[in-house]
Chain A
């Protein structure tokens, strides 16, 4: 895949992809986790990275964030090379993962305040109050973060991910281990944020309903390679299936090959 060419001035243009991945490969001690991956994510879109355990979703997200160094390949976010200049764009990104936590002894308010300061948020109290109201955890603000339930933690983690109103939001299994009601609630807020901000969202998940509901486009991964790429409707038509779960099972079990 050819990366989008920046404008003549070298500046990032609205039409340029928000995320560009080119020939991205990651090997861990000889094991290939991500294998020559190339894709571009359009600005303002929600793209799902779908795949089973070990498909390479989290590693790909980690490389896009710059937390994992690729063995080879390139990543650009908002036109910035993440391997060389990631500090130029980090203030305009954020992420959420159930596998990353915040200090348990700090209250929710203190945790959010510290992140707001790290991201250079101007009106910190107002921003925290807005997020707490929007995500319905006003009553939790002064509770130690370690005393929250899984659902409450997810809401606070989402607030942390939205604290700087990121233009690019990376979500790694945002509803993992949540009950259906809370998961639905979280998805609604992700949809609302995308709609309100025209943010670009890249979502790693193995929850088919989540992906069908949220994503304009789905990239299916298996053993670190793309085995399907298109809108949910296109994938269903291409695989002649009625839902993404059946498509996923076909691909996971090798019943069909990408076309």
Chain B
């Protein structure tokens, strides 16, 4: 159990000094950085699961041949549920990628002191792109 105590003590030191590296043992519900970390992790896991399904399914469909491919994609892409799911997927991809760019900036020492502002800027960019995509896809979902 010594390892867990060490990580907690180290995590506490880092979190108190930088307010950037969240630690599971220190839950700060109102801290933006904690939410950014949690959402990044949730979207990451969700996208990993989606990637596993996407690669497996598409590979099987392609190897089964043209008729099967056309039938399955016709069914999926004609479905409104699939189009809505596509938007949800896009939202996850946008948040994870833009927050990831924010994290890479921190890795090279840029903007650590403005991590909250950068989070909101990134979220605004994600939201703007998401709205554009939704407006583009909305006629197909509604029709």
Q: Do the two chains bind?
A: no
B residues whose Cβ falls under 8 Å from a Cβ of A: none
